[in-house]
Chain A
Amino acid sequence: MARAKPPLFLARAHYRRRRLRDAARLLPILGLILLLLPLLWTHGDRTSLSSGDVIYFFLVWVALIAVAAGFAPGLSKGEGTEEEED
């Protein structure tokens, strides 16, 4: 006989957790892109740096921290079930 299937909402939670892990993996890549982005506009004829750049970097930074903080509880919750390493 087949193993009892988990109910639908559980499967859904499982799926969500997997996608959350994907998102957690993508986050640093997005972060890197955002942090390298100013290279494009600080390069040309501008020689000095404006307060706008400083504000930009700190905003990106805070956003990354906030998103990571949003991910962390969900990620550590699924920690016990490691068998499904995709």
Chain B
Amino acid sequence: MPFNLLVFACILYVVFLFAVAFIVERRAQAGRLGWLRSPLVYTLSLSIYCTAWTFYGAVGYAARSGLEYLTIYFGPTLVFIGWWWLLRKLVRIGRQYRVTSIADLISSRFGKSNTLGVIVTVMAVVAATPYIALQLQSVVLSFGVFASVTPDGMAPPDPERTAIWVSVGLALFTILFGTRNLDAKEQHHGIVTAIAVEAVVKLVALLAVGSFVVWGIADGVGDIIARIDAADLSAWQVEPGRWTGLIFLSAAAVITLPRMFQVMVVENDDEGHLARASWAFPLYLMLMSLFIVPIAVVGLDRLPAGSNPDMFILTLPLAEGQGALAMLVFLGGFSSATSMVIVESIALATMISNHVVIPLWLKLRPRAGAGDDLRAVVLNARRLAIAAVMALGYGYYQVSGGSAALAAIGLIAFLGVAQVLPALLAGLFWRGANKNGALLGLLTGFVVWAFTSFLPSFGPGAMLSEAVFSQGLFGLSWLRPQALFWTDGMDPMIHALFWSLTLNVIALCLGSLLTFPAPLERLQGAAFVNVFEGAVGPQRWARGQAEPEALLTMAQRILGEDAALALFQGAAREQGKDGFLPDPTPGFLDTLEARLSGSVGAATAHAMISQLVGRATVTVQDLMAVASESAQIMEYSAQLEAREAELTRTAGALREANEKLMQLSIQKDAFLSQISHELRTPMTSIRAFSEILTEGDLPPDLVMKYGRIIHDEAKRLTRLLDDLLDLSVLENGTVQLNLGMASLQQMLDTALTAARQTRPERSFTIHRDLAAEVIHVKTDADRLTQVFINLISNARKYCTAERPELRIVVRQRAGRITIDFIDNGKGIPKESQTLIFEKFARLTDANRAGGAGLGLAICREIMTNLGGSVAYLPGQGGAAFRLTVPLRLEKLAA
């Protein structure tokens, strides 16, 4: 294939990416992102984990060490399917506190310490440099592959010139789209989308080559399996130490790599996307590695001995004469390299500008005026940083000569950034982790990593002398870079992994346990660890002496004039003020700091505001205030709840009382109409007969008859009035009781005699147990007898049996006596049983026997006054009433 065509395709591809990024940026500015903010784009952007190292290197890795290449994907797979453990919290914190980079996260968590930010930045840059060099190298190598098979005499490209051109091109692209604006959230939609496109190209290219190898060269899946089994790969042995260690290492790296943090946390638009990515990203990784082994096996089989296995994926299609496929693969590899370099350099540039350049700038020009636009400084710092990072990568590529196997460099970089992991995990889950611990841990891990892994990677005699390798640093045999503490014979990679992380964790724990954190650290620790509880907000500013105008000037320097004015105006309006200058309340200062930290990082934003507010730190008193504030809120809400419960109770009671009142009113009305009816009936007949009498000329027998009727009716009236009077006295509880000892038997005798007057024509059989009735009761004998008479009369009146019988059963139990009156009539229907004790309650007119229906009501009142009760006893074969009276009634206190 003509080399020119290759370059042309390359440029065309880059222009296409430019266009994608450009269009998306435009749409983002117009707020029309739509599906571009979907979980799909998020997942695809995560694929920058798969760099050129993966694209080219995996096959080489597989050809050299068998299945070990899988460990690089297993770690991230486990981290993502276990997103509920860590990633969820990480993303939540990143969004809540507008974290701009992993250095910002560490610095912010440990008391907004810029020192920590600088350390993490330096570590990240050092670890990333070889990695960027690796990408350049892979692009150069892939160009070289095409050049070497060019038959038509095109001059093979000079690797150095290629590397320079690629570096410059990438730097330009990144600067163009990565530093267009200083967003409050540090998001770059254009670049993320371009990367998603590149992710698709990578995947398609790899799957295409894989399919070609499996179904084109080999004879389907069965054949490939046979070839794998037949391949003489005695080196394909899984070493337990390396296997486990590398899974752990890749899991750590996917969390701490600056570029992964950038796309995973900083560019995250929606926490819900993480749920989708939790399986979609592992799926992507799985597809990426699916065809690696077949390609490696077939490559070893078909290609001449000594060809670079890192380039099998490219040389195999070329050797088979598949130019178009090779072009696709080339673009895929190009995508892998460029996307990684772009995002990595953006992430590093953010860190460098926020943690190194801006703090320095502020220190040099602490009180610059309004005209001093800090945004330009920040953006220029980032542009320079991108160029510098790229230059470093290029420099490393030049120095290392691009000879080392890709996989080795990648692992060294992984281990470098993994040193941040202990501080990160401790910061997220252990409130006791403090700044000193983090500082010690990071420094220890970094130094050990540099000594055991990074510096030795240049080879003996390059960075570390031969003597150091064989005899140890300063001649101390326990300080040999690949045998710390005399641990000879370990795999160098695992040796470095083990010692750097172990010592890192030990230093972190010791530092945290032995030193005491500053109040701001404690506050941030609580806010980060308990981010889901939301109980502790971030730091609160006490109302300081800050001039709103000075704050506005500063905000303009960072956010830009329009954004700052809008922010201040909004805050002023919320406080109910006109104009652009809100009061510097704690709430407003918090908002302002959050906005600023989205642009320049938490540490810088904090430093800038505290400069104006005039207080550098939070004090212990502030901590106590925050604690007591939340305690107060909780107490207050508990009080509110109690009060609410009380109110509900009161309302319930009121409702009941109201219902009772309504009932009483209805009862009263019914009572009045009943009373007037009862009074009018005898009155009417009295009036009628007395009128007849006054007319005279009546035979004497008629006069006598009418006179008797009038007399009877008057008696009935009197009785009714007596009853009413009696009832009202009883109901009011003002009745006078004559307490004394009385024989129950005597009372019953009296009552039976008296009741005989009622319907004397009927003969009743009375069953009594005289022996049981020999009881002396202390009560009001007259009143109790009155009740007896009433009940017996009722039985005489209403019992419908042919041969009426009445049983009187007396029992004594536990200081109370029960007396049952049971007849053999048809009893009282169930639905009426509760009614009979009400005033004027008579069951049917047929049974009306001259009473007013007050008898049982009076009985009930008497029994209540006597400390007992009367109740209807169902199921006795007739009407049955049970009286209960105390054996000895004591005078009530009332």
What is A's interface to B at a CB cutoff of 8 Å? 1, 21, 24-25, 27-29, 31-32, 35-36, 38-39, 42-43, 47-51, 53-55, 57-58, 61-62, 64-69, 71-73, 75-76, 79, 82-83, 85
Is B228 touching A85 in the complex (CB atoms < 8 A)? no
Is A76 touching B272 in the complex (CB atoms < 8 A)? yes
- What's the interface size class on B, roughly? 35 or more
Known: A32-B247, A68-B279, A85-B533. A39 touches B85 (CB 8 A): no
Is B283 touching A28 in the complex (CB atoms < 8 A)? no
- What chain A residues lie within 8 Å of B645 (beta carbons)? 1
- What chain A residues lie within 8 Å of B234 (beta carbons)? 47-48
Given contacts A36-B247, A85-B533, 13 further A-B contacts (CB under 8 A): A1-B645, A21-B84, A28-B78, A28-B82, A36-B243, A48-B236, A58-B290, A65-B81, A68-B282, A72-B276, A75-B84, A79-B271, A85-B532
- What chain B residues lie within 8 Å of A72 (beta carbons)? 275-276, 278-279
Is A82 touching B240 in the complex (CB atoms < 8 A)? no
Indicate which residue in B233, B290, B532 contacts A48 across the interface (CB closer than 8 Å).
Answer: B233
Is B66 touching A49 in the complex (CB atoms < 8 A)? yes
Once A and B bind, how many residue pairs between them come within 8 Å at the CB atom? 116
- What chain A residues lie within 8 Å of B66 (beta carbons)? 49
What is B's interface to A at a CB cutoff of 8 Å? 66-67, 70, 74, 77-85, 224-226, 228-229, 232-234, 236-238, 240, 243-244, 247, 271-272, 275-276, 278-280, 282-283, 286, 290, 293, 532-534, 644-645, 648-649, 652
Is A58 touching B67 in the complex (CB atoms < 8 A)? no
Is B293 touching A27 in the complex (CB atoms < 8 A)? no
Q: Give the complex CA separation of A82 and B644 in angstroms.
A: 25
Is B228 touching A64 in the complex (CB atoms < 8 A)? no
16 contacts between A and B (CB under 8 A): A28-B79, A28-B81, A31-B82, A35-B78, A36-B244, A42-B238, A49-B66, A51-B226, A54-B293, A57-B70, A64-B282, A65-B81, A65-B283, A68-B81, A69-B283, A76-B272
- What chain B residues lie within 8 Å of A57 (beta carbons)? 67, 70
- What chain B residues lie within 8 Å of A29 (beta carbons)? 82
Known: A21-B84, A85-B532. A42 touches B286 (CB 8 A): no
Q: Say what secondary structure dominates the interface of chain B.
A: helix
Is A58 touching B649 in the complex (CB atoms < 8 A)? no
Q: Say what secondary structure dominates the interface of chain A.
A: helix
Shortest beta-carbon distance from A80 to chain B in Å: 10
Is A49 touching B84 in the complex (CB atoms < 8 A)? no
Is A39 touching B238 in the complex (CB atoms < 8 A)? yes
- What chain A residues lie within 8 Å of B84 (beta carbons)? 21, 24-25, 75
Is A64 touching B240 in the complex (CB atoms < 8 A)? no
- What chain A residues lie within 8 Å of B228 (beta carbons)? 50-51, 54
Q: Give the complex CA separation of A67 and B290 in angstroms.
A: 19
- What chain B residues lie within 8 Å of A21 (beta carbons)? 84
Is A35 touching B275 in the complex (CB atoms < 8 A)? no
Closest residue of chain B to A74 (Cβ to Cβ) is B275
Q: Give the complex CA separation of A35 and B67 in angstroms.
A: 12
- What chain B residues lie within 8 Å of A39 (beta carbons)? 238, 240, 243-244
Is A25 touching B283 in the complex (CB atoms < 8 A)? no
Q: Give the complex CA separation of A62 and B279 in angstroms.
A: 10
- What chain A residues lie within 8 Å of B85 (beta carbons)? 25, 28
- What chain B residues lie within 8 Å of A38 (beta carbons)? 238
Closest residue of chain A to B646 (Cβ to Cβ) is A1
- What chain B residues lie within 8 Å of A25 (beta carbons)? 82, 84-85
Is A75 touching B78 in the complex (CB atoms < 8 A)? no
- What chain A residues lie within 8 Å of B236 (beta carbons)? 48-49
Known: A28-B78, A61-B286, A85-B533. A47 touches B237 (CB 8 A): yes
